[in-house]
Amino acid sequence: MDKQQVHRELTFKAVRSSGAGGQHVNKVSSKVELSFNLLESEGLTEKEKERLQSKLSSRLTNEGVLILQCDEARSQHKNKELVVKRFFDILKKGLEVPKKRMPTKPTKSAVEKRLKLKKMSAERKASRRKPNLD
């Protein structure tokens, strides 16, 4: 992933923020909307695009565009920084290759401990039953 290239492909749009804030909210466009076209990106390899497309499928539009919004801060510049940071965190997490699980066998002591606990639990429950008077 070429971070510089990907950063150039980001599109920003300033929108009026919603919610509480009084007059400030009504006159200032502080909410930032970031959009990134995953399918047409030149900063990602085909393999990376495929991995991201499968991992981020619920966040992508039908055209393969990832849209993120941020309106946490009152400043448009701060919101832009936050949304870019969030974007790269999402990309990093999406590109992580999970480690292969190495199948292991439980140790002899672990098996014995499990069976001992099972037996104790069975005895405890058996002692709760009403006695058989036959």
pLDDT digit string (tens) for 98-132? Answer: 899 999 999 999 999 999 999 999 999 999 988 87
Per-residue model confidence as pLDDT tens digits over 62-79? 988 999 999 888 888 999
Per-residue model confidence (pLDDT) at position 25: 67
CB neighbours of residue 79 within 10 Å:
23
Distance CA 7, CA 87 (A): 10
Per-residue model confidence (pLDDT) at position 16: 80
CB neighbours of residue 56 within 10 Å:
16
Distance CA 121, CA 87 (A): 50
Domains (ranges, CATH) in the chain?
3-95 (3.30.160.20)
Distance CA 32, CA 15 (A): 6
What is residue 68's three-state secondary structure?
A: strand
In degrees, rounded to 5, the angle at the alpha carbon of residue 67 between the alpha carbons of residues 75 and 45 is 120
Q: CB-based burial of residue 81 (10 Å sphere; 0-12 exposed, 13-18 middle, 19+ buried)?
A: middle
